[in-house]
Amino acid sequence: MRIATWNINSVRARIDRVVDFLERQNIDALALQEIKCKPAQFPTAPLEEAGYEVAAHGLNQWNGVAIISRIGLEDVRQEIPGLPQWGEPAVTEARLLSARVGGADGLTLTSMYVPNGREIDHPHYTYKLEWLAAVREHAAATLAADPQARAVLCGDFNVAPEDYDVWDMGFFAGKTHVTQPERDAFRAITETGFADLVRPLHPGEGVYTFWDYQQLRFPKRQGMKIDFLLGSPALQPLVSDAYVDRDERKGKGASDHAPVIVQFD
């Protein structure tokens, strides 16, 4: 089974890239973030023609998540307990979607778009920490209920857990994504037993998943690693390959994120 996560930064603008990626990389299930559309606006036809089902969750032109699968799509859910709300009036934003893929022998895939945090002294930063805390509680509850659960929490976490996950720590001084509370919140999720499925195969520096559109960050290799697939203990020994597809960040009309791929045998 080959799964992937990708912050697509508008699926309607990049649906051709999505279809090409699925076929080129032989992906069975793909978690998308920032689809930026409602489910009725999601371009499902090209995916259905390629043999995939789609589950999407979006409330407006912001945020939004989806799961695309050719190996089944069951038990679709849009929330986990304890997710904080945001806005006026306060709502539970379209930032999380989970589904069972691969049937009884498959896994539960959860696509997440963690709040950005904006600035350290902004209420959105507190919202982000509360959101990550809810994910931590969900992860712990999942494994408490079934230590052998096959589950992947994946997506754009908007956290760089280690100094070498950003191109220059000096540049990020006083900014979000690298603060200790954010890193502690990320680490609290992994301490439940979920682990980064890519890091063991690519432990070094420069394994980035995001490059800002401005200042030629991509050709300068000035990126961040903020997109992850965190797998439960039962899945971790089954990983046979994992990598970032940097080619999808190249060319005209690319998302500012690259997809991250994991293969289970």
For 41-88, the pLDDT digits (tens) are: 999 999 999 999 999 999 999 999 999 999 999 999 999 999 999 999
Distance CA 97, CA 110 (A): 6
Whether 97 shows a pLDDT value over 90: the answer reads: yes
Give me the count of residues in the chain: 265
Where exactly are the structural domains of the chain? 2-255
Q: Could you give the CA distance from residue 221 to residue 254 in angstroms, rounded to a whole number?
A: 16
High-pLDDT (> 90) share of the chain, %:
98
What confidence tier does 204 reach under pLDDT thresholds 50, 70, 90? confident
Per-residue pLDDT tens digits for 217-230? 999 999 999 999 99
Q: What is the pLDDT of residues 209-257, one digit of tens each?
A: 999 999 999 999 999 999 999 999 999 999 999 999 999 999 999 999 9
User: How remote is the C-alpha of 103 from its chain's centroid?
Assistant: 22
Class of domain 2-255: alpha beta
Burial class (CB in 10 A: 0-12, 13-18, 19+), 105: exposed
For 69-82, the pLDDT digits (tens) are 999 999 999 999 99
Nearest to 156 by CA among 259, 254, 43, 69: 259
